[in-house]
Amino acid sequence: MSKIAVPLAEDFEDAEFSVPVERLCDANHEVVVIGAEAGGEVEGKRHRVIVGLDVAADTVDPSDFDMLLIPGGYSPDHLRTDPAVVSFVRRFCETGRSVAAICHGPQLLIEADAVRGRRLTSWPSVRKDLENAGATWVDREVVVDGNLITSRKPEDLDAFCDAVVHALEH
């Protein structure tokens, strides 16, 4: 069983949180939702999912987790302005463990300076930001570059989840 950190804020893309988390839990992995503050709740942008924040970013050690999963929507944009969350993401990326981000999720990786020299995908509007941050952007449903797994949109969730679960099995 692996332990997965999921940074989350208001207005996340509902399916990009709930579908991977369901797949991870079905595979007996533990998911820990990380936010700016512990104990609160955040709501998805489609108002279908409400999630409790398990821990605050400034109270957890990245080395306690096996994977970082960043759902899209507007959540990554909110989180990239929180120094504690950005620090957690940066420190996690430095561990070399698996990082998975979908849709707007790579915005948080840009803020953590974790995309330079990497090959990834995202929602199309994030393309230029990724390129400006030194990444190579590819228009594919899933791009795996070493320990980095990225995907474009909710329609890519099956392939994204397959890649995420596969990475945890190896």
Query: Residue 170: which pLDDT band, with cuts at 50, 70 and 90?
Result: confident
pLDDT digits (tens, 9 = 90+) for 91-115: 999 999 999 999 999 999 999 999 9
pLDDT digits (tens, 9 = 90+) for 67-100: 999 999 999 999 999 999 999 999 999 999 999 9
Q: Quick check: helix, strand or coil at residue 110? A: helix
Q: How much is the pLDDT for 40?
A: 93
103 annotated active-site: yes
Q: For position 136, which CATH number holds?
A: 3.40.50.880
**Bridging pattern class, strands 41-43 and 50-52:** antiparallel
Domain count, the chain: 1
pLDDT average, residue stretch 115-127: 98
Cα distances (Å, whole numbers) of residue 24 to 21, 86, 124, 155, 161? 5, 24, 26, 18, 8
- Contact yes or no for 69/5 (Cβ under 8 A): yes
The rounded percent of the chain whose pLDDT value lies above 90 is 98
pLDDT digits (tens, 9 = 90+) for 148-168: 999 999 999 999 999 999 999
Query: Residue 53: which pLDDT band, with cuts at 50, 70 and 90?
Result: very high
| Contacts of 128 by beta carbon, 8 Å cutoff, 6+ apart | none
Tokens of 153: 């949109």
Of the candidates 25, 93, 103, 161, the residue annotated as catalytic is 103
Residue numbers of the domain that contains 59:
3-169
